[in-house]
Structure 1
Amino acid sequence: MSSDATRPQIAIAGRHLAKKFGHVQALSDASISVPSGTVVALFGDNGAGKSTFLKLLLGIHQADAGELIIGDKPVVLRSVRDAQRLGVDCVYQDLALAPDLSVVDNMFLGHELTRQGALGWAGFVDRKEMQERADDALRRLSIKLPSLTVAVQELSGGQKQAVAVARAVMWSKTAILMDEPTAALGARQSEIVCDLMRTVAASGLGVLVVSHDLPRVLKVADEVTILWRGKTALEARAADLTVPDVVATMVGYRADEAA
């Protein structure tokens, strides 16, 4: 059997990406590959280019050079909608949740289900179906909430993060990108979110996590990519790295030695 037949599909990847904003070279040669069913951590010091990289993978910005891959196929992304149509979604640092709306309404925001027949034409939403689908999505991720009809603002930080992850999983078919998912969370809530990463990957999606939470994310990741001054400085198995290894690469020691 060929190696191509046994290797996992590439959920999402960026190869040799470059991006310049005016006189600022944000990325010059950045690459990352996220296989399906895998958690990949993206580390880098402030200004390394992580945010720009994420925005290129989501179609928010377009690269000046390089190639994007989604589902093993080269793609061109002109907008976030393009990425979403290809099954890629993101859990943003600010979560992008509507605090006054219920859990169900947040999970279907922009994807509301309408009733059958004339009621649907009149704009009536099918709340029963939406609640059943939301409940199923949460159960599949082993997420327990006090109620699906409670306003999101009544939930804890970890519960809000879980809702944001579940919403992304509902509408993703290929990969989920997570931007600082444990920021501002306590230890227990952060562990819950990390458990969710593994659960999502186990469902077959590729998971890319951008984080400064090195010890916790290093434990949950399968692979690690580190950016340094807009370039990929290191790609390695997470099990082969320690936190000091990651920090040393982030601040440029290994990159300097390899130059």
Structure 2
Amino acid sequence: MVRSSAQAREPAGSPLLSIGQVLARLNPEFPDLTPSKLRFLEERQLISPARTESGYRKFSPGDLDRLRFVLAMQRDHYLPLKVIRGYLDELDAGRQPILPGGAVQAPSMLSTERRLGREELIREAGATGMLLNDAVSASLIVPADLFGEDALSVLRSLVELQRSGIEPRHLRGFRAAAERELGLIESALIPVARRKDASSRAKAAELAREIAGQLEIVRSSLIRSALSRLQQ
């Protein structure tokens, strides 16, 4: 369960971390995290690090947990920052909010994404080596030595779809559709991407996630509408 800021208060004497130390701890999980991204998240009021008399930012272990949560929700669920901030504001107020869509499971701010080898991935998904090979061949899973939670979720879904007679080869169009959506996102980012400063890069990355989240809402609505017609 995600902790509120009140629940995450640090005991006296808890060590404070510099930006460099925060990056050293989080970059293995989030390689795209940069000092400018941290400052951008502070500007959006997702985090509120302490300041030294000289103005240097100092992050508590609770700030680190909160950062990990925000970054995970962006990366894994493409949620816009304003949605994540609203969720955390509700949590800080002592309420028990639900993330948009209801199906999104909020990870613990203490959790880290696992990395699974090929055999471990197959075993946990209840899949076969052939199904994984077919998923990679259909570009549904990116080939790798170690796989993340996203690959595990996809492979589990493919196991269930296979029981209904739907094979990875039937889903090749999904990759093409994803590439078309990527083209839309890249076109929308052109005005921001032209500016090469670090702040603009951070804003472009956030805008890309927001657009992806909105496209997901439209896609889900279309599927629900189609399903309702089938049930009539």
Fold match (TM-score > 0.5): no
Q: Determine which structure has the larger strand proportion and give its number.
A: 1
Alignment TM-score, normalising by the size of structure 2: 0.31
Larger relative contact order, structure 1 or 2 (CA cutoff 8 Å, min sep 6)? 1
Q: Determine which structure has the larger helix proportion and give its number.
A: 2
